[in-house]
Structure 1
Amino acid sequence: MRVKKTIISLIALTSVSGIANAVSETKIETVQAAAAVAYSAQSGTFYVNYPGYSIAVYKEPADQPVTTGKFLQHGTAWKVSRQALVNKKWYYQVGKNQWVQAAYMSRVKPDISATSGLSGVMYVNYKQNASIAVYSAPANSPKLTGQYLPHRSAWKVFQEATTTNGKHFIKIGANQWVQGDYMSWSQPVVQSAGRTMVATAYDPRVLGNYTFGYDTVAANLSVFPRGTRLAITFQDGTTKNYVVRDTGGFAYSNPNQLDIAMPNSQALQFGRQTVTVRVIS
């Protein structure tokens, strides 16, 4: 009887061991269900709103969508025919098997044409005893925050942006932007009393000169040698910096006159003005 019991025990143990091995060799596969897609009506013209970048086009709305290899540029307009919601993320259909993320689309044409990163400390470079306005965001018609930065004050900068009408803005903090024309990397010198001069305007490109930029001024070179940097304050109180790069027949007979480069449409409106001129360097 003892022998029989031993044999039965061995058979039972072998059977259990075989089952265990069978279980250990079984592959367990986990299949994750695809996220549900909820389609709904949407129509109209939308604009890509992702300054400085393009957005990807996907084959269909999904939790992990597959790209078509196409991209839509910032500011371009597209007709939307349908929308879809996938895992709290909206998509717009812009063509057959063409979907984009709704987060980068807007019904209103964006004001921003380009953005780029910026890092360092810049100085307000406006005019003595004056300040510049701070705006909540870069835009063609920006909104004031009510804050103002004094001339020559230093500020950390984080980003720059250009609007569709050519305005340049620099970010100095959260929802704090200033016009880039009034910022410089070097601290402005304390301005001494300048001299009063007569100023006219011209467009060097109309004369066939595409080398000089619109920060150029023509002057009598015996008064201001070529390369002299001037700060010119206009009748409306604004001050801009120019470099003496040009001269002309008028300058020799009128040493107290400057000819300031600017686009032809502005030059025609500028006429003849009295300005205050200071030598920067």
Structure 2
Amino acid sequence: MNARIPFIQPVAAHVGAPAPAVEVHGLGRAFDGRAVLRGIDLAIAPGEFLAIVGKSGCGKSTLLRAIGGLDRGFTGTLRVDGVVAFGFQDARLLPWARVWQNVVFGLRGPRDVLRAKALEALAAVDLAARADAWPRTLSGGEAQRAALARSLIRAPSVLLLDEPFGALDALTRLRMHALVNGLWRDKGFAVVLVTHDVEEAVLLADRVADLFRVELPRPRSRTDERFEAARLRILDGLGVLALDASLSAHEEPHSELHS
């Protein structure tokens, strides 16, 4: 993510507006002398749903890791207000622990209190019935719901999701979309979603990487012509439509088939 890729642009503060949940100024990150992030300015409002889209290697996950405190090698300034929780493409459940034990992993307290908290978090993702199951017995969607419960139990003010639906089948992905959207609406935390799926970004997010605001009423429908217009606008901003046009212009006419 660098000066040639207009995914992240400065966001002006409004007088009287609440302090951002996440605020980044001049963020940079280099690996072995190669700049992956350069001069990133970003503000995410409390309760906002932001999606970050872009090609592989442009720095999406690197930015997320910096916000989540998993990478301290960046330059610039970064401030996060409150607790941050992380969700990955891989559910990353401990195979030797029951589902409920995975949910409370890292937390301290009496076993019965922790189990009660785990059951509450699992109920929020409709997985309480699988509390005592082993992770290996879960489906892909169930494993992601367990991982989501592990994030929710920490009462985050910012939830970071790094392509959490990428490995799921199409139907399970739709169900996870509805679940995340409902939890975000009910809990009020800010969400930063990294995804390669432009439709997913338009369906869920208030804003797509500061490229533009998604002015669509909720709930959203893929059959809404405004949805398609928003999807095409993002693709155009990413340069995908120009690439398609260039490829089409250079295609040779197909030869006619002769019997």
Smaller-chain TM-score bracket: under 0.3
TM-score scaled by structure 2?
0.20
For the pair shown, which has the larger CA radius of gyration, 1 or 2?
1
TM value normalised by structure 1: 0.19
**When you count helix as a share of all residues, which structure comes out higher?**
2
More strand by share: 1
